[in-house]
Structure 1
Amino acid sequence: MKALFVHPHGRNWLGNLKDISSIFNLMPPLGMMSIAAYLEAKGMEVELMDCYARPMPTPELVAHIIGSKPDVVGFSCTTSSFLEGYGIAHSIKEQAPEIKVIFGGAHACSVGVSLLDTFPAIDYLIIGEGEVTFYELLAANFSGVEHIPGIGHRRDGKGVLSGIRQHIADLDSLPFPAYHRLDQFPGRYNLPLFSYPAAPNTSIISSRGCPYHCSYCDRSVFSRGFRFNSPGYIFEHLKYLHRDFGIRHVFFYDDLFTFDRSRVEELCRLLVDNRLPVTYNCIARLEHVDEELVGLLKKSGCWQVNFGIESGDPEVLKKHRKYMALDAVHQKLKMVKTGGMRVKGLFMVGLPGEDEAAIRRTIDYALTLPLDEINVTKFTPFPGAPIYENICQQGEFREDWPDMNCMNFVFIPHGMTLEQLENLYNEFIRRFYRRSRIHWGYTKMLWKSPHSIKMFLRNLPEILRFEMKQKW
């Protein structure tokens, strides 16, 4: 049996301009690749199509898919890419109705089986982790689906769930994601500009789940438990990427890379003892950081640590996530910076309960922190996040799925306007980056990240067109 997987792109938030975000920040679709690798290990034929790396018009894409003669086409979709994915699926069904269509990913898991009631081109949904569920569905040749946990299917024309799929307890039992099935890997893929010392580079996910309860996080795929790959498995994964693809730097895209201290210590020891020529970035929670951990990360090749700070207003933070005093945040970031690693802060604008004064407090606070760069997203209430349940009571919510990509204000808190939010967002970016300290930091990238400089100069015309459109 042959399975072809599609990773749809979604709406270009830059309108008529080239989507420079997919030039400077394109990471492989690891969830889809993990399912493909599992099927391949079981003897099935697989093909991957990542529409970010290889965009093409829908008719051409559908013709390629049908020409590949798959038995099943699987779509991995976020909320913003779901409708594009469905449009492709609908065209496939019109031309080749015998092909089974399966949807999985964040949107399918968060919205659930009700999607089957309004999107008839979808035959099945994968709810939860997909590796074992997808394989069992195909191995059964789509029969007896009511006995395969984790399947959304139709009973008497109505979407129902077969049962809840138990989590994969031993993540080390899974093969490495199918990087080899990606067209143009690793050359077409790249971590965010100026966030790596060397290329080629890529991303890894070495854990699943999160025990924390932030109001804005959707945990519908992996739930709130926490499971992780062993240090030995991660080390072998890195060795494989370096040996087979020449990877020199990776980003551990785990929400909680530093959650299990013993795991981090053992991985750092393996990296130091074996002198693997691969550096890395990671995401850490501030409460995990201490002098010993900073020393371990730096010694083992950590180049940058990202922290979710979200807001500089204490009351907003207390409402949406585990609170840490703002002075303590400053001290932790300074500890990492002094330890010799770059520090990136992740913020949100437009959270429920925010007003102009609160957002200005966040901007002013961010300017006091020892950050090398920031990423500011526009708050988006995703289905599956705790806050989604009563979001309409906290402001105006325009639930337009293609725009729900954290780059559009689809939610406006009570007492604010869209114009206010856009102006404050632009002010945040402008005030942070138009400082001499930040300019000098990027000047040092000439020798710290020469590949980033080359990428920047190669795409300078597109960058300038983008800058002219912004109001920063």
Structure 2
Amino acid sequence: MRITLLHPPHTSIGSRIPRENLPPFGLLCIGGPLIDAGHSVNLINADIGPMTSAQIITAIIDSAPEAVLIGHSGSTSAHPVVVRLATRIKAVLPDVAIIYGGVWPSYHWAEVLNECPAIDVIVRGEGEMTAPKLMAALGQDLRRINGIAYRRGGTPYATASAPMVQDLDANRIGWELVDITQHGYWGGKRSVIMQFSRGCPHLCTYCGQRGFWTRWRHRDPVKFAAEIAWLHRTYGVELVNLADENPTTSPKAWRAFLDAMIAENVPVQIIGSTRADDIVRDKDILHLYRKAGVIRFLMGLEGTDEATLEAVKKGGSRAKDRQAIQLLRAHGIIGLCTFAVGFEEETDRDYWRILKHLLVYDPDQIMSVYATPHRWTPFFDKVKHRRIIDADLRNWDYKHQVIEVPAVPAWRVFLWVKLIEICLQARPKALYRSYLHPDPDLRHAMRWYTAMGRRVVLREIYHWLRHKRRPGISVGAFLGQDRLEEHALALPQKTKSRGRV
């Protein structure tokens, strides 16, 4: 079968401003198994450019597909674009099957099928095993394919949840589908996205990812390091962006990966996300992090108020957050810290306290995110009474404020966030690290991030002035009052151990 994988253009500020583009890893994970199943597969990355709708349609027509599979890592904010493109594709190619996957459609499958007749099938959850089975069954009875949703008798119908992929090394990544020379990050370095693990064992109430992956799993550390080394030697990859929620969850597996990377001895830099607790836990082996190529870790502080951390079940503490930043710096690793705003109890005094605490933390880099409600998270139940101030899903990317803070008007929340970011990035210490740091790799990274941040701030201010935000309907009225089932994949069955007689 001729299959076209489509990565639609993303409109979020963060995607557009850096003028850099990473390969669509999720579609590459699907592409490898489809190629190995005997299909003819090509990929259109419309995020490069980005391509216009007309250019995308022309490229799809030229590929003469029998099926178009659409997916995007930022699926909530990309959803409106997907609907528009699917409608146009179906208008010119009515016989082509359009399959849609990602986090948003996995949960909102019934609404998507009701509202977009052009979309034929939705893949719910992980797609490596589901996609080949679905392609083999197109045109037949789909009820036997787990992990999908489609129309049955004109009504949206979902099959049983698919089992999660237990062996993350069983399905190869279709690297041949992309020209890696077209993808760069970190100031022009040839870069790719990869995953050492999937899922997260922690229970942050607002996280839209924890239920999608169901359980934490990891790749074979030695095989994973070998693949990174192969990418460097074959394609000249210089930087790997780990898409894991928490790659350091297993100390044993993570240590094995570090040792394997050191043994591979390739000049590849690694960035990713982790928890401050894990950095403190690994304080005695942080020198191995740096030796293995780790140059930056993002840590979510999610607010510096202990009551807020407790409310969202973050499980962190201010003492460990600060210690983790200091430990990373001592080992030549950049600490990028995110702080989240938009929780219900916030006041102007809370934002002032966040600024003071962050100045004490002294992070190398800082990034703000806005609490965003997702209907499949516990956070949804706590905020569904609050009012929406931005109903455009394209802005639901964590970089736009979409729900009101009752005690602080939206314009003042925005000013506080920008003030905090500017104060942190314009400190003498931050400027020194950006322009005079003795380590050239760290100096390059800091300078690149500072330049990108300036462009993002200007774009965000422009966007804010253009779009009026007025409180409207509640979150529950906008998304639906009932919380959706959180687990996108079937939970593994627990086996009863036989006791001793």
What TM-score do you get using the length of structure 1 for normalisation?
Answer: 0.90
In structure 2, how many angstroms separate the alpha carbons of the residues matched to 1:38 and 1:450?
40
Aligned residue for 2:129, secondary structure, equals: helix
CA contact (8 A) 1:125 1:152 kept: yes
The question of 1:369 aligning with 2:361 is answered: yes
Aligned-partner residue type, residue 428 of structure 1: I
CA contact (8 A) 1:199 1:451 kept: no
Q: 1:271 to 1:456 in 2, by over 3 A?
A: closer
Pairing partner for 1:227 from 198, 217, 234: 217
In structure 1, how many angstroms separate the alpha carbons of the residues matched to 2:332 and 2:267?
18
Q: 1:462 to 1:283 in 2, by over 3 A?
A: closer
| Residue aligning to 2:240 | 250
Pairing partner for 1:117 from 91, 114, 121: 114
Shift of 1:398: 4.0
In structure 2, how many angstroms separate the alpha carbons of the residues matched to 1:467 and 1:402?
14
Query: 1:30-429 alignment to 2 at 5 Å?
Result: 30-77=25-72, 78-175=75-172, 177-182=173-178, 184-191=179-186, 193=187, 199-219=189-209, 222-289=212-279, 290=281, 291-396=283-388, 398-429=390-421
CA deviations 1:280-318 (Å, max 9, x no partner) are 123221222232232331232221222111111111111
Q: 1:167 to 1:208 in 2, by over 3 A?
A: same
Aligned-partner residue type, residue 81 of structure 1: A
CA deviations 1:124-158 (Å, max 9, x no partner) are 00001111111101112341211100110112211
CA deviations 1:380-410 (Å, max 9, x no partner) are 2233332124423245454421121122111
The question of 1:6 aligning with 2:11 is answered: no
CA contact (8 A) 1:110 1:218 kept: no
CA contact (8 A) 2:433 2:443 kept: no
Shift of 1:73: 0.6
CA contact (8 A) 1:312 1:363 kept: no
Aligned residue for 1:292, secondary structure, equals: coil
Aligned-partner residue type, residue 177 of structure 2: R
Of 318-327 and 153-162, the range deviating more from structure 2: 318-327
Of 248-257 and 118-127, the range deviating more from structure 2: 248-257
In structure 2, how many angstroms separate the alpha carbons of the residues matched to 1:425 and 1:221?
29
CA contact (8 A) 2:277 2:320 kept: no
Aligned length: 460
In structure 2, how many angstroms separate the alpha carbons of the residues matched to 1:264 and 1:384?
30
In structure 1, how many angstroms separate the alpha carbons of the residues matched to 2:16 and 2:115?
34
Aligned residue for 1:310, secondary structure, equals: coil
In structure 1, how many angstroms separate the alpha carbons of the residues matched to 2:369 and 2:11?
17
In structure 2, how many angstroms separate the alpha carbons of the residues matched to 1:292 and 1:344?
21
CA deviations 1:87-133 (Å, max 9, x no partner) are 11101111110000011011111223332112111100000111111
| Residue aligning to 2:424 | 432
CA deviations 1:189-208 (Å, max 9, x no partner) are 314x5xxxx82232211111
Aligned-partner residue type, residue 447 of structure 1: P
In structure 1, how many angstroms separate the alpha carbons of the residues matched to 2:196 and 2:446?
29
CA contact (8 A) 1:257 1:284 kept: yes
Shift of 1:468: 8.3
CA contact (8 A) 2:183 2:190 kept: no
In structure 1, how many angstroms separate the alpha carbons of the residues matched to 2:189 and 2:181?
9
Shift of 1:5: 1.2
Aligned residue for 1:427, secondary structure, equals: helix
Unaligned runs of 5+ in 1: none
Shift of 1:343: 1.1
In structure 2, how many angstroms separate the alpha carbons of the residues matched to 1:435 and 1:453?
13
Q: 1:350 to 1:8 in 2, by over 3 A?
A: same
CA deviations 1:261-285 (Å, max 9, x no partner) are 1111111112223322223123221
Q: 1:22 to 1:32 in 2, by over 3 A?
A: farther
What TM-score do you get using the length of structure 2 for normalisation?
Answer: 0.85
Of 454-463 and 141-150, the range deviating more from structure 2: 454-463
In structure 1, how many angstroms separate the alpha carbons of the residues matched to 2:388 and 2:37?
48
CA contact (8 A) 1:127 1:221 kept: no
Aligned-partner residue type, residue 441 of structure 2: K
CA deviations 1:204-227 (Å, max 9, x no partner) are 111112221111111377433111
Unaligned runs of 5+ in 2: 465-501
The question of 1:448 aligning with 2:441 is answered: yes
In structure 1, how many angstroms separate the alpha carbons of the residues matched to 2:449 and 2:228?
27
Shift of 1:469: 4.5
